[in-house]
A and B are shown apart, each in its own frame.
Chain A
Amino acid sequence: MSDLADEPASIEDLVESFELLDDWQDRYGYLIELGRELPAFPEDARVAENKVKGCMSQVWLIAEPVDPESGVLRFRADSDAHIARGLVAILLTIFSGHSPQQILDTDPRPVFARLGLDKHLSMGRSNGLLSMVGKIKQIAAAAS
């Protein structure tokens, strides 16, 4: 597992912001806000092959061309549901901008647990996020 201290400061920012919000309404409000701030997903990439298979909300994910020098992978993603889009934004904060090996070594669950959002990455949740992590790792494995 990679050390969380090595992650970009934004993860720590997220954790800090979540800790400041003490009721669930505010935390959901913040999550929805994170989703709204996600960069626009290219419309022409909103196609079946970029869709992450999940039972309920739709999630799309693409990897941008790899930086040939660093090998660093960047992702863009979106969802048609607001809460899912916020969770997608957190996943991108965790995974985007890292080398394939770092991505393969990173377990997103501790971060979600610190944010109090761990239930969203559980098997019981059919929101496609777990499949999104799987797809990110698949892309990383293919690039490594």
Chain B
Amino acid sequence: MEPNDDRATLLNSPSAHPPRAPGLDNQTLPLFSAKHAREDFPALNQEVNGQPLTYLDSGATALKPQCVIDAVSGVYGRDCANVHRGVHTLSQRATAAYEGTRDKVQGFLGASAREEILFTRGTTEGVNLVASSYGQHALGEGDEVLITALEHHSNIVPWQLACERAGAKLVVAPITDSGEVLLEDFCAKLTERTKVAAFAHVSNALGTVLPVEEMTHAAHDAGAVVLIDGAQGAPHLHVDVEELGCDFYAFSAHKLYAPTGVGVLYGRRALLEAMPPYQGGGDMIDRVTFERTTYNDLPYKFEAGTPNIAGVIGLGAALDYLQRLGPLGIEAHERAVLEYASDALGDIRGLRVVGDAPSKVAVISFVMEGAHPNDIGEILDQHGVAIRTGHHCAQPVMDRFSVPATARMSLGLYNTREDIDALLRGLHAVKKLFS
């Protein structure tokens, strides 16, 4: 099918009405149409290997809507100035947009104060900041850091480094054969020595949603502070850090339809105030002499150097965009597409889904008999279908399920059942080639 015809059909088709989620009252469900939203993503309007692009790799990075591209381009084309430094008009405009994003993020996460929102380079830097700074502040010989067996390397290695520095011990809560973290297994690993519990909101490799609220309460009862790796959670689930009760929540802008190189770390104010600075440099200081330096107030104490101004402003545009579309409607739509995909993939003989927890979002990891995940990815690419293949920076998860790698499809708000159908056509070609 010609992609242009396809788009026209999509727009005119009666099925372009917003999806209805089961159990939600139609009157309260925000209107959301993925087929209309697709129009906002210019990258979708292209062919790959002669086929219309089917992008099922939003777990790696989400595509960017035109409004985000325009916001970034507007910074470089008009309001190009450094922030927090100038009295001139351009600098004031840039600062207002940059700090305006902080307010939007505060609203997005339900944080009680804007000072609790730190801009980072991404989830990885957020975790490193906490592991390094809070680790230095609170971890000592014999203390324990508790993580889970489904963490991304970014929520393992920073803690290994922090534990090595402090003489502390890294403890791992197991996962079940379905890829779940059971609350009882997690609680069994909590001791009075547990100083930090760090876990994913959603597993990047399996899509499992963790019982983060209950885990947070349990960790707090044991006297530990809690960091949630929200890289795969924030793009798909409603997040309210006050409701969750967590002490830190980190996510990446680029998985939330915003530019790469920007992330957010939410941190509880009292903890951030007690923690030593992570990096030294411009903007994070109050007064510098060669004898002694005093530090700036939150959040600037943790934002050394010129930040990714355009990226942060792009994040602001992405949050506005998501707000306009309606997060609840997006969530319901993604759930419906995931269900459709799960059923369809489950019907393919010789295909095994890795991780079938009852509560999952946006991700299906799988392996196929006779074909390596890279083979799958390569043949799908010939069909214009983009998925991720490999260990997904979660080698312990691969070891747990005794696979070297998996193929992973992941959803964004723009994915439709037609995308899943394209994936299925590709997978049938894979079966034909490798059987």
Please give the residue numbers on chain A whose beta carbons come within 8 Å of chain B beta carbons, in ascending order.
24-25, 28-29, 32, 55-58, 80-84, 127
Contacts and interface: CB of A to CB of B under 8 A. Distances in A.
B429 A57 contact: no
A64 B243 CA distance: 63
9 contacts: A28-B433, A29-B433, A32-B433, A56-B374, A56-B389, A56-B405, A80-B372, A81-B372, A83-B378
Interface string B366-385: 00000111110011001000
B382 A80 contact: no
Contacts of A29: 433
A57 B375 CA distance: 9
B42 interface: no
A32 B390 CA distance: 20
Contact of A57 (B49, B372, B433): B372
A25 B432 CA distance: 10
A56 B390 contact: yes
B374 A127 contact: yes
Contacts of A84: 372, 374-375
B404 interface: yes
A28 B379 contact: yes
A10 B389 CA distance: 32
B434 A80 contact: no
A32 B433 CA distance: 8
A125 to B, nearest CB: 10
Contacts of B372: 57, 80-84
- 4 tightest A-B contacts by CB? A81-B372, A81-B374, A57-B374, A56-B390
A128 to B, nearest CB: 10
Q: Interface residues of B: mostly helix, strand, loop or mixed?
A: helix
Given A55-B390, A56-B374, A57-B374, A80 B404 contact: yes
A28 B390 contact: no
Contacts of B432: 25
Contacts of A55: 390
Contact of B434 (A24, A56, A82, A127): A82
A135 to B, nearest CB: 19
A101 to B, nearest CB: 34
Nearest to A80: B372
Contact of B382 (A24, A32, A58): A24
Contact of A25 (B390, B405, B433): B433
**Considering residues A25, A58, A81, A84, which has the most beta carbons from chain B within 10 angstroms of its beta carbon?**
A81
Contacts of A25: 429, 432-433
Interface string B415-434: 00000000000000100111
A55 B393 CA distance: 10
B382 to A, nearest CB: 6
Nearest to B382: A24
Contacts of B49: 24
A32 B429 CA distance: 14
B350 to A, nearest CB: 15
Contacts of A80: 372, 404
A83 B374 contact: yes
Contacts of A24: 49, 382
Contacts of A83: 372, 374-375, 378
A58 B379 CA distance: 18
Contacts of A32: 433-434
B330 to A, nearest CB: 31
Given A82-B372, A83-B372, A83-B378, 10 more contacts: A24-B382, A25-B429, A28-B378, A56-B405, A80-B404, A81-B374, A82-B434, A83-B375, A84-B375, A127-B374
